[in-house]
Chains A and B, each alone.
Chain A
Amino acid sequence: MKITMKNLLKLIIATLVVLVAFTSCNNSNSSTSGALSSNVAERVYVPPGQHDSHYAFISGGYSGNVTVYGLPSGRMFKEIPVFSQFPTSGYGYSEETKPLLNTSYGFIPWDDAHHPDISQTNGEIDGRYIFVNGNNTPRIAKIDLLTFETTEIIEIPNSAGNHSSSYVTDNTEYVVAGTRFAVPVPQKDMAIKDYKGNFKGTLSFIKVDSEDGGMEIKFQILMPGFDYDKAHPGRGKSHGWFFFTTYNTEEASTLLEVNASQNDKDFVAAVNWKMIEEYVNNGGGKMMPTNYAHNVYDESTHTATSTMKKEVRVIDPSEVPGALYFLPMPKSPHGCDVDPTGEYIVGSGKLSANVTVHSFTKMLDAIKNEKFSGDAYGIPILNFEDVLAGAVEQPGLGPLHTEFDDRGNAYTTFFISSEVVKWKLGTWEVLDRQPTFYSVGHLTIAGGNSRKPDGKYMFAMNKITKDRYLPTGPELEHSAQLYDISGDKMELLLDFPTHGEPHYAAAMRADIIKERSKKIYKLEENNHAYVAKTDDDVKVVRNGNEVHISMTTIRSHFSPDNIEGIRVGDKVYFHVTNLEQDFDVPHGFAIIGQNTSELLIMPGQTKTSVWEPKQVGVWPFYCTDFCSALHQEMQGYVRVSAANANTPLKWSLGEDIE
């Protein structure tokens, strides 16, 4: 070929085109690939008025609550108050909801909400309830997904640091709560240095009623005083077992960062809960005196009640031989995850270079052949090599949590190296890795801890935000990244801020629940003790220095809106019923000098606020929700007379009090 100037030019241009293509191809794999370089923007764009395909329920950590997001848009729809008082709606402030936050330590306005898990049937998400654990004052809460409200909270006695919680078994037979900080059981005054051998970690199995979802602690297993960090139920073939990672098998009580990092291997505790359940059903275990709160919200009375329970059934592992085993797991494992088939138990040794995977089949085989390397407090320890399925070699630094897709792949987060690594179950080969921003904790795939994952999206929840968004001073919301995992490679789609400190999240297809989401409470089904269903039911009743006002609201007035005869020193209960029966027409209630929050009352609902007037005068109240065109007119007055005055108790609407 004759090289002419023209040909040479063509060659150079062709080479350049190839180079540019190659470079941009490289770019699209890196974090700097912008939405503009592909159709990424379209894939997270949900046009106005249209709905997201998935719900995500993200724990708020120290916010104590759970937030509801849409995927793929990353839009937040609601904050569901769970363990924390929430002045927005009056949760934890209204008389009806205060009992939900009662504990054996009294009323607690806050907790650290960690791991939401959606109820399942046959190992598939059924969308009835979300369970979530309070870590600090051990509790398990249940959110009803018809109303997206917290309807039950049960305190866990004999526990501290309720962290390996609140995971559900294949048919929501149990929600499980494990103890992270071993404590004396029962509690007593003793020297901290005598921890070893004396402290216990309990694993609590809370039975969930298959009809009404009611929770009840069926039994607690009194385990050695290790830290039970994370947990996962067996799935499918391993249904009937539960697995817990442990650290601090050294049983150190001080400077744990060093003293609890000495053992080469800690354990995964394997619990045959079906065997223990049978033992309990036959009268096994001992009732131990204790004290814990069980709080239930009744949707019919719109009121929660708190009951103190005085005993709990405890099981000593030695009573049920064959129900408990320890599987060695390298270096202070954190995450404990079981794949959709139930065969693989993935343990992430935080300080280990590898992600170790144990085999359920091998475990059963080792148990059958009694291949034990010893025991810990009487619980047999299996040989590491006998139960080992394989290991993902050096996938990253600081492995934490693993979720699964429906194509035999696992996705593990790495806190230290800030990335999610995709690997193949069975071959343990690393298939892909994507950076996160920054220092990822948990990750979530819809149904990613169930038998039927939905392998479309995965999102990573990070602990550090730094420069991802516009700065907001020293305190930042955390960041999350959404990836499309339907292809061979993970693709970063979206970066969105989350509220509080998300630990875990649960996600599911929206169509599972969106049609049954409740729109209003039926007024005729309202059995609140002080409900006023019509203006004829409206009344003001004095009982000593307590005054109960059964009040109604409807666009756009309160009935009554003039009240006289209240005296300084009275305790005035405003029981406000929203008479509306139309979707999304709440009314609010607030009165000047109220030492509590407002009320936000949904259609058909009754809520109560207590007001203790301290000065004589005429004091206004009003609707806090812009309910209608006449919202500003939705107001009223309470006349407060001196403590010894004789002003008669009267009330009215639309006419003057005579």
Chain B
Amino acid sequence: MKRSNIIMLIAALLPLGLFLFPLWRITLEAPQYPIPLAMNIHINDFSDVHPHDIKNINLMNHYVGMKYIPDAIPEFKIFPVGIIITTIIGLIIAFKGSYKWFLYWFILMIILSSAGLYDFYIWEHDYGHDLDPKAIMKFTNPDGTVMGFQPPLFGSKDILNFTAHSYPRLGAFFLALGIGGSLLAYFAGNKIHKKTLSM
């Protein structure tokens, strides 16, 4: 097996790490939470970082009319299937495909990941803005519009008494490594191809 194909093989397998490790984490810090509230986002689940964190996030958020974090969302069904399918495709092309396919897989993964991130953003936006009209506390922005409580997609942001942090976790690194690996496999394949041509 060519070196490039071995790299592609590993690259195709790496996203499976998403089944083992969380993709993302949202952390909420406030003075009265010396241990911050935090939620891990897996490709098929939301989970507490410390026991009962999601319950306590819901309790906090209901004051401003935010919905409860659902037990399940449709993405939890779609994402795992997507990862499995793309891994299978990756494996097939690692064994059978030409190095050019490595690039196509890379592009496919970039598109799908961006779509995933966009979906995440939409969910976050809805979570932060679709507020109960009977909310206990209503806040407005300086311009008079209703204040939203959307956590950042990436990075840190102050929301009322909380500082929210949103950062990728180990699962995301596996995915990124897999995607990067496929590009590396493409270049490696390209190099071998050129060598073969020049010979």
Contacts and interface: CB of A to CB of B under 8 A. Distances in A.
Chain B binds chain A: yes
A582 B48 CA distance: 13
Given A581-B52, A582-B52, A555 B59 contact: yes
B56 A629 contact: no
Contacts of A555: 59
Contacts of B136: 630
B3 interface: no
Contacts of B51: 581
Contacts of A520: 52
B63 interface: yes
B55 interface: yes
Contacts of A582: 52, 55-56, 59
A554 interface: yes
Interface in B122-160: 136-137
Q: Report which residue of B51, B55, B59, B137 has the largest number of chain A beta carbons within 10 angstroms of its beta carbon.
A: B59
Contacts of B63: 629-630
A583 B51 CA distance: 11
A479 to B, nearest CB: 33
Contacts of B56: 581-582
B75 to A, nearest CB: 26
Interface in B48-77: 51-52, 55-56, 59, 63
Interface string A570-598: 00000000001111000000000000000
A582 B58 CA distance: 12
A536 to B, nearest CB: 16
A581 B53 CA distance: 9
Interface in B23-59: 35, 51-52, 55-56, 59
A629 B30 CA distance: 15
Nearest to B137: A629
A580 B63 CA distance: 15
Nearest to B136: A630
Interface in A605-639: 629-630
Contact of A554 (B35, B52, B59, B137): B59
Contacts of B55: 581-582
A376 B59 CA distance: 70
A556 to B, nearest CB: 8
Contacts of A580: 59
A630 B59 CA distance: 12
B39 to A, nearest CB: 14
A581 B55 CA distance: 8
Contacts of A629: 63, 137
A520 B55 CA distance: 14
A583 B55 CA distance: 12
Contacts of B35: 583
A582 B59 CA distance: 10
Q: Report which residue of A581, A582, A629 has the largest number of chain B beta carbons within 10 angstroms of its beta carbon.
A: A582
Contacts of A630: 63, 136
A357 B98 CA distance: 93
Contacts of B137: 629
A581 B52 CA distance: 6
A60 B117 CA distance: 61
A581 to B, nearest CB: 4
A157 B59 CA distance: 51
Interface string A521-562: 000000000000000000000000000000000110000000
A519 to B, nearest CB: 9
Nearest to A523: B52
A286 B188 CA distance: 90
A555 B137 CA distance: 14
Contacts of B52: 520, 581-582
A586 to B, nearest CB: 14
Interface in B95-124: none
Contacts of A583: 35
A554 B136 CA distance: 15
A582 B28 CA distance: 14
Nearest to B60: A555
A429 to B, nearest CB: 50
A630 B62 CA distance: 12
Contacts of A554: 59
A551 B61 CA distance: 23
A639 B56 CA distance: 33
A521 to B, nearest CB: 12
A377 B8 CA distance: 94
Interface in A404-448: none
B106 to A, nearest CB: 44
A583 B63 CA distance: 19
A443 B92 CA distance: 78
A520 B50 CA distance: 13
A315 to B, nearest CB: 49
Nearest to B37: A582
A555 B55 CA distance: 12
A629 B59 CA distance: 12
Nearest to A633: B136
A653 to B, nearest CB: 15
A465 B2 CA distance: 88
A548 B119 CA distance: 49
A554 to B, nearest CB: 7
A520 B51 CA distance: 10
B57 to A, nearest CB: 10
A583 B37 CA distance: 12
A581 B48 CA distance: 12
A581 B51 CA distance: 8
A630 B137 CA distance: 10
Nearest to A583: B35
A310 B24 CA distance: 62
Contacts of B59: 554-555, 580, 582
Nearest to B56: A582
A614 B84 CA distance: 69
A582 B37 CA distance: 10
Interface string B157-198: 000000000000000000000000000000000000000000
A469 B107 CA distance: 77
A630 B136 CA distance: 9
A555 to B, nearest CB: 6
Interface string A430-472: 0000000000000000000000000000000000000000000
Nearest to B63: A629
A376 B44 CA distance: 79
Nearest to B35: A583
Interface of A: 520, 554-555, 580-583, 629-630
Given A580-B59, A630-B136, 10 more contacts: A520-B52, A581-B52, A581-B55, A582-B52, A582-B55, A582-B56, A582-B59, A629-B63, A629-B137, A630-B63
Interface of B: 35, 51-52, 55-56, 59, 63, 136-137
**9 shortest interchain CB distances as A-B pairs:** A581-B52, A582-B56, A555-B59, A581-B55, A630-B136, A582-B52, A629-B63, A581-B51, A554-B59
12 contacts: A554-B59, A555-B59, A580-B59, A581-B51, A581-B52, A581-B55, A581-B56, A582-B52, A582-B55, A582-B56, A582-B59, A583-B35
